[in-house]
Structure 1
Amino acid sequence: MSFQPLFPIWVIIIGFVLILALLSWLEIRRPLRWRSLRLSALVLALLALMGILLQPSREQIRSDAPVLLLTADYESSVVDSLLLAHSDWEIYRTPGAATYLRSNSLEKLVGLSDLSHRIGALAGNGLPAYAWEYLPQKQFPFFPSALQSGMQKITQKVYSEGQVNQLEGSIYLMDVSRQLLLKDPEGPLDSTIVEPDGLQSFTLNFTPQEAGTWEYQLVQKDTNGQLLSEHILPIRVDPEKRLRVLILQAFPTFEVRYLKDFLADRGHEVAVRSQISRTNFRTEFANLPDRNLNRLSTALLDDFDLLIADAAAFGQLGRNDLNNLSTAVEQGLGFLGIVNGDDASFRRWLGLINVGGEPDSVRLGNNLTLAAYPVNRQQDREWYDLQRTANDRSVAAYFYRGRGKIGFQTTQESYAQLLRGDSLTYASLWMPVLEGTLRETYKDYTIELLSEFPNYTGEPLDFRITANQPLETVTVDDQKIAVREDPFLDNVWYGRFWPRSTGWHQIAVGEESLDIYSFAANAWPDLRLAQLRRQSLMQVRAEGLPKGEAFQQTRLEPVSRLWFYLLFLLSAGFLWLAPKL
């Protein structure tokens, strides 16, 4: 027996005792017959009131038949086989699933919470991520529908202004070849042909010229040019980071000259120090006032976000300059080493085991081939790749040293792209490397979207906020929303909202914001099915055939209040009638 009292139990018990004592004293003083019966009726009436307030419940063990849960596009043959082995199972279908004989319909997915302990198997495309929160017990098998031709995944990220970006995704094709075409509001940007060869990846290139949020389109056509599908593809483009770079060189080189001019033309602040003799230097400045660069003082290095040097320039640094450089990197400065020769101290500084003698060639995207020095990295450091070749070889990477970064770049003679007039390829080679190694700017807040693309109206969107200061008000589309703090991690918060309209929505806290696009329910149907299938396969924790036993559950069944009301009416009626008899 257990209770769900309307008030604290101690209040009810004390009130019962006091009222019983008072009313019993009044009844004893009344000169009426049947004193014992009147006192008994009084006790029963108060006990009935006490039962109404305490709301007692008793445990009952119920045996329920297992449930076969059907989702959209389930295969009838699979369902027939399961029911042939388990004819006593109940059948429920989610919204969007086709009808089946003797099946019950769930109007909303929240109804899964009442079936969570009974589900014996799941069939079809599966359930969205948020629906699994209604199913804490996931020990049942999942029988997914057959994989259908169509888009399987699109990797969403923030793209960079003025650089060649890559849209990456995967598609499953087993019928006919398809052309994938990426378009912006002004027209086609890139296309590729995908052959019917199962699951495969694709890449489409584009170069956004302006930062902001944009609605591109991803089009699928057959080999005859017949339109198969056309969907909005939301694109977020960040402005190019402003760089403040110091370049050291032992002697003037074409690589540094063109790199300096390229950065200056894009509005970045650049200082170049070239060594003429042991103690004399020639300096150049772009978008910066002139200053003394003879010594690498701590104050000087603190004014820059990135220092670039090759082996020759690094080898000419004095002990004080090296000490100041090491301190500056520990405190956050980024260092990028241009690998164009072998120097023992430079190699150790960059975390490399050895640098090969003659440069070989590497192939990057768009069939671009450049010379590069082969290197072997020390494996006791955690490396972060910035640029990889077509055969997955790293040509630019970095590791953390204190709060700063030390990275290397091995490609050579990239300035040839500028000589050919191909500034976009040159930007795509250098800007990710420069932005990846420069001094990190620590934001007050970082907002991350946790929900997988695509996101739909009427379904929850989850996000996470990492705060470096006390959390300010969080808004979605200028409306305040509540967030919850991580119980184990300090300054980590989680939020959820349900977009009610299609289009862009903005999560904001402090000076930071994140733009998210919400689709109508019928958008990206093939991507939606792949998303449901993938999320369901990740959630279920049982394989093989389902168990056929009935599910037993201990439940608290409340004692009917009707008995307490009847007892109270009978007892109170006797107390009212007794003086009249």
Structure 2
Amino acid sequence: MIDWNYVVIGLSLFLLFFLIRKEVRRSNRARLGWRLIATILAVISFACLALPITYNHTEAVGVTKEAVLLTDGFSRDSVNKFISQNNAVPVLTTNKNLSDAAKFNAVFVPDISLLSRTYSDITTFHVFGYGMSKDELQHIKKGSVIFHPTKLSAGISSISWNQKMKTGEKLFIQGRVENSTSGKLKIVLKSFNATLDSVALANGNNQRFELTTIPKHGGRAVYSIVFLSGKDTIEKELVPVQIEQGAALKVLMLAATPDFENRFLKDRLGEKGYKVVARTTISKNKFRKDYLNTSPLPVDRITTSLLNNFDIAIADAAALQALSKTEQATLQGQVALGRMGLIVKVDSGMQSSSFYGRRFPLVAQAGNQDQNIQLKLSDTSSKLPALAIENPIFIRSVYGTQPVVMDKQNRVFANSTLMGAGKIILTTITNTFSWALSGYQNEYDQYWSELLNKAAPKKTASEVWGISPAFPAINQPAQLQVETSNAGVPHGQIGEASVFLKAHSDLPFRWEGTYYPTSVGWRTGVQMDGVRFYWYAYNKQDWTKVRAAETLEATRQFVTENGNTVKASEKVLQTTKAEFPKIVFFMLFLLFAGYLWVENKF
């Protein structure tokens, strides 16, 4: 097909040739030059009426193209105000079920990763609400976010607890509350409608709280935390925990003389399933030997073959001093190799020349009088019952040691240090049996569980599995992670479903895969060695305030680090093509054609 422009140009040239020929052949040769010029311009003007004559137009325009992105918790009033000041701004959301989003005709974007690709022309996203998670923000272009955060309503804004523990260990919960209400505030920890612990809160924002309990059951359970204002329930959340039995430790006890402390400890460890061998000196080279939950062993001499049967040795300082240098060196070597831990009990003085003495300088209490000491475990700040201690001795903290038990003046009564790959704990508390006699059996168990768990050698697992985020929700992606030194590609399994794992880009021993839980409750994973592990899938409505606080902080940090690189006032020069107005060519045609008509008449 012949282009229209060529047709117009061809006809115009033919017309121009005809008119010029006519003017040249006229008998009246007056003003011939002007007539030829007018003829040429008239034909050109006439041709331009049919041709698309364009020109380049340059103007300063704003470089920003903005959009509103609605997230959980957005304020309707804030969005309305912004839209009224910015006409025709598009409204987007990645949450299909977001309340009130339909009132703004929000366009649903099914995946955050599609946002930048589908709306690549958007330079600035005005994010309203609680913002986005760290994973979601990875798909957002840096410098493209202006955040309009929503203030958190009253509720628990942060929470943490030890989700896995051994039997007898304490569940320790720490958190923070955002509060805008008045009245008597209380946080309650419950199990099957029984109150396990509670704490009253003062009015005001950012109140910290702590809750503790010692689970009396094994296996898995789901506790609950209730936030109360008077009799009104502000929030109720789930706290799933796992209590593992754990392998029974093998304990060697060495006592210089018979006493109540060793007798009570030996019997209690035996009741709890520990394998205990106790050697008590009766006279020189004569020992009483007790065996609980284990077969008899020759314990007259401390040898490497004997110590290989134990995880921990509990000994009086006097019993250690009575060992030969060879026996002391053998015990020290086992600890340094990480094959066992050592707990030393000191009731008076000890030789500073011993292999552990220099690490634990002792300080006797001035006055040498009996005192009721209020003790606490340093890791959890859990208070223990007051204990009457005769002539109390505390341990001066030095570099390389870590307190285990202190009093309210932060004086150390049990301290720990590393020796090679193993750990040594020294305690100056030698009458803990008084707690058991006074009815504080749980506290007695807690104290010794703390010391034994800290001293016991840690066994390195060949594979460690985990789930992120902290509160995986149903129908939301959860990251299954494993760290392993085993060769080959690990296989992930949740229930009957297989999970494909891929290697981490920076950590060669870590593998990750995505899994979507479909129901609330405990999920069962299977390790490569066949051992099962468990994790809890939450409802989307669980821990909403904590999730909101995390996304608020993540989005604020993203904006702080990256800013917004495009300002509303910025302009750029933009060149566009514009068509020349036809009326101009029409007026020019009339002008030149009129001249030719008038010139011909007169």
TM-score in same-fold range (> 0.5): yes
Deviation at 1:246, TM superposition (A): 0.8
Query: Counterparts of 1:487 and 1:151 in 2: how far apart (Å)?
Result: 35
229-238 or 301-310, which deviates more: 229-238
Aligned to 1:369: 386
AA in 2 matched with 1:320: T
The alignment partner of 1:134 has SS state of coil
The corresponding residue for 1:528 is 547
Aligned equivalent of 2:203: 196
Query: Corresponding residue for 1:106?
Result: 108
SS in 2 for 1:276: strand
* TM-fit CA distance, 1:290: 2.2
Q: Does 1:497 align with 2:515?
A: yes
Out of 326, 339, 345, the position equivalent to 1:338 is: 345
Where 2:356 maps in the other structure, the secondary structure is helix
Q: 1:136 to 1:389 in 2, by over 3 A?
A: farther
Q: Contact 1:249–1:274 at 8 Å: present in 2 too?
A: yes
Query: 1:206-355 maps to which residues of 2 (within 5 A)?
Result: 206-223=213-230, 225-332=231-338, 333-345=340-352, 349=356, 352=359, 354-355=361-362
1:483 corresponds in structure 2 to: 501
Gaps of 5+ in 2: 1-61, 377-381, 572-602
- In 1, the alpha carbon distance for the partners of 2:569 and 2:515 equals 38
Give the structure 2 partner of residue 446 of structure 1.
464
Residues 361-401 of structure 1: CA distance to partner in whole angstroms, max 9, x if unpaired?
3432356234564223332x3x5665566676665454443
Query: Secondary structure, in 3 states, of the residue corresponding to 1:289?
Result: coil
Q: Deviations over 1:408-455 (max 9, x none)?
A: 334442211100122111111111220221122232322233422x32
Q: Report the counterpart of residue 9 of structure 2 in structure 1.
A: none
Residue from 117, 121, 129 that aligns with 1:124 = 129
Q: 1:79 to 1:270 in 2, by over 3 A?
A: same
- Closer/same/farther in 2, CA of residues 356 and 520 from structure 1, 3 Å limit: same
- In structure 2, how many angstroms separate the alpha carbons of the residues matched to 1:362 and 1:275? 32
Q: For the residues of structure 2 that align with 1:219 and 1:514, how far apart are their CA atoms?
A: 28
Deviations 1:216-263 (A, max 9, x none): 22223332x344443332121111441111122222232222111110
Provide the rounded CA distance (Å) in 2 between the counterparts of 1:544 and 1:93.
22
* 1:464 matched to 2:476: no
Partner in structure 1 of residue 166 of structure 2: 160
SS in 2 for 1:356: strand
CA distance in 2: counterparts of 1:192 and 1:408, whole angstroms: 34
C-alpha change, 1:396 and 1:118, in structure 2 (3 Å) is: farther
The number of equivalent residue pairs is: 488
For the residues of structure 1 that align with 2:246 and 2:325, how far apart are their CA atoms? 35
CA–CA distance in structure 1, aligned partners of residues 75 and 564 of structure 2: 16
- Give SS of 1:462's match: strand
Residues in 2 aligned to 1:410 and 1:154: alpha-carbon distance in whole angstroms: 35
Quick one: which amino acid aligns to residue 450 of structure 2? Answer: P
Larger radius of gyration: 2
Aligned partner of 2:437 among 388, 402, 419: 419
Letter in 2 for 1:146: K
Give me the identity figure in percent: 20
Q: Is 1:434 aligned to 2:434, yes or no?
A: no
Determine the structure 1 residue equivalent to 2:65. 65
User: Which shifted more, 123-132 or 68-77?
Assistant: 68-77
> What TM-score results when the alignment is normalised by the length of structure 1?
0.74
Distance in 1, matches of 2:430 and 2:178, equals 38
Secondary structure of the residue aligned to 1:175 is coil
Deviation at 1:492, TM superposition (A): 2.6
Task: Please say if residues 120 and 140 of structure 1, whose CA atoms lie closer than 8 Å, have aligned partners that are also in contact.
Answer: yes
User: d(CA) in 2 for partners of 1:76 and 1:395?
Assistant: 58
Following the alignment from structure 1 to structure 2, what is the Cα–Cα distance between the partners of residues 326 and 399? 13
Q: CA deviation at 1:69?
A: 3.4
Structure 1 residues 135 and 338: CA distance shift in structure 2, 3 A: farther
Question: Secondary structure at 1:480's aligned position in 2?
Answer: strand
Change (3 A) 1:171 1:521: same
**CA drift at 1:202:** 2.0
Q: Is the 8 A contact 1:474 1:482 kept in 2?
A: yes
Q: Could you tell me how far 1:151 is from its partner in structure 2?
A: 0.7
Answer whether contact 2:190 2:223 (CA < 8 A) is retained: yes
Q: How many angstroms apart in 1 are the aligned matches of 2:161 and 2:403? A: 19
Alpha-carbon distance in 2 for matches of 1:78, 1:186:
41
Counterpart CA distance in 1 for 2:168 and 2:228 is 29
